[in-house]
Amino acid sequence: MNIIVCIKQVPNTTDVRIDPVTNTLIRDGVESVINPFDAYAIEEAVRLKERCGGKVTAVTMGPPQAETALKEAIGLGCDEAVLVSDRKFAGSDTWATSYTLACAIEKLEAYDVIICGKQASDGDTAQVGPGISTHLDIPQVTYVKKIVEINDKSARVERMTEEGYDVVEVPLPCLFTVVKEINTPRMPSLKGMMRAKSAKIAKWTAADLDADPAALGLDGSPTRVVKIFTPEARKGGEMISGSTDEVAKELVELLKGEVV
Ligand SMILES: Cc1cc2nc3c(=O)[nH]c(=O)nc-3n(C[C@H](O)[C@H](O)[C@H](O)COP(=O)(O)OP(=O)(O)OC[C@H]3O[C@@H](n4cnc5c(N)ncnc54)[C@H](O)[C@@H]3O)c2cc1C
């Protein structure tokens, strides 16, 4: 089974700072790590390989330093890795990002399953996984919490919902985005770390992809970040106490005051 896992390198902080002028992330001075949700994607990809045989290829689009994330992925059990990196990709929104990743995936040998994290901890849109499957015209199942059965033709998975979970059957090739409930990621083994150290990471630029140049980077991005801001913290609520009748009466009076 050929499994592809898409990983993103993100700042290692929950305090994401935005440049107020350019509206882009401030990355200087912030350590980068594999997006926490992608650790579950890597683990599931490696478990799938252990279950069905085959290989796992990790793919990332990012700056040259994203190679570190790919080496880490190899240390965790991925077999091969591809860094898709070019200044031409700068300014990509989620549409252009998923198009570029889809073009890279098409360049790899035929795949059975693509696994993404549920969302990235910095951009947070959860759009890239579904975007890749749309560009590749393959089915997708999001929020997967368990791969129950899988063979070379189809898979049966559990997909998390707010009320519980759906059981979904899907033909392969397909794309899954996974939630953290799916597994417990392993630590890198000593052997894995040694392999990672000497691993050769393939590096592809825009010229290596069979991509429409007009669909890449800022030019290929139909959305623009107009403003990014942290919403003001809400003031604490007001507690009303008393019997149900008293509370209801006071609430009605308060609401009347609001609408006048
Ligand atoms: C108009 C616009 C301009 C932007 N300009 C820039 C810019 O100049 N520089 C910049 O760094 N960002 C830029 N961004 C942000 C960029 O679009 C997102 O970082 C990127 O598309 C991923 O979206 P996300 O973080 O919401 O990921 P999500 O959709 O939340 O991620 C879901 C999953 O998709 C996969 N994934 C996501 N991104 C990647 C990736 N790069 N490689 C491999 N797998 C991935 C992972 O499995 C991840 O768990 C811009 C966004 C917009 C809207």
Each of the 260 residues of the chain gets a pLDDT tens digit; together they read 999 999 999 998 766 677 777 666 776 777 899 999 999 999 999 999 999 999 999 999 999 999 999 999 999 999 999 999 999 999 999 999 999 999 999 999 899 999 999 999 988 899 999 999 999 999 999 999 999 999 999 999 999 999 999 999 999 999 999 999 999 999 999 999 999 999 999 999 999 999 999 999 999 999 988 887 777 888 888 889 999 999 999 999 999 987 76
The identity of residue 253, as a single letter, is E
The Å distance, Cα 98 to ligand 1 centre, comes to 8
Pocket test for ligand 1, best of 26, 92, 178 (most atoms within 8 A of CB): 92
Find out whether 174 and 133 touch, Cβ atoms under 8 Å.
Answer: yes
Which tokens sit at 160? 């998390």
140 lines ligand 1 (CB under 6 A): no
- Distance separating alpha carbons of residues 102 and 81, to the nearest angstrom: 15
Q: Are strands 55-61 and 32-34 parallel, antiparallel or unpaired?
A: unpaired
Q: Is the pTM of this model over 0.75?
A: yes
Peptide bond into 173 cis (omega under 30): yes
Q: Is the CB of 8 under 6 A from ligand 1?
A: yes
Tokens standing for residue 123: 């951009």
Length of the chain: 260
pLDDT of the residue at 260: 61
Instruction: Compute CA distances 61 → 110, 171, 178, 239, 256, whole Å.
Output: 20, 27, 19, 50, 54
Q: Residue 65 has what DSSP assignment?
A: G
The pLDDT value recorded for residue 229 is: 76
Q: Which tokens in the block code for residue 25?
A: 């992330």
Q: Is 13 in the pocket of ligand 1 (CB under 6 A)?
A: no
What's the confidence (pLDDT) of residue 147? Answer: 98
The response to whether residue 80 sits with its C-beta less than 6 Å from ligand 1 reads no
The radius of gyration of the chain's CA atoms, rounded to the nearest angstrom, is 22
Contact 113, 172 (CB under 8 A): yes
44 CB within 6 A, ligand 1: no
At residue 115, the pLDDT reads: 98
Instruction: Supply 216's token pair.
Output: 């890449």
pLDDT of residue 15: 65
Query: How far is it, in rounded angstroms, from Cα 109 to Cα 60?
Result: 16
Torsion of CA 207, 61, 223, 120, to 10 degrees: 170
Helices (H) and strands (E) in the chain, counts: 6, 11
Q: Which domains does the chain have, with CATH numbers?
A: 2-215 (3.40.50.620)
Q: What is the pLDDT of residue 257?
A: 85
- DSSP lists the bridge partners of residue 85 as none
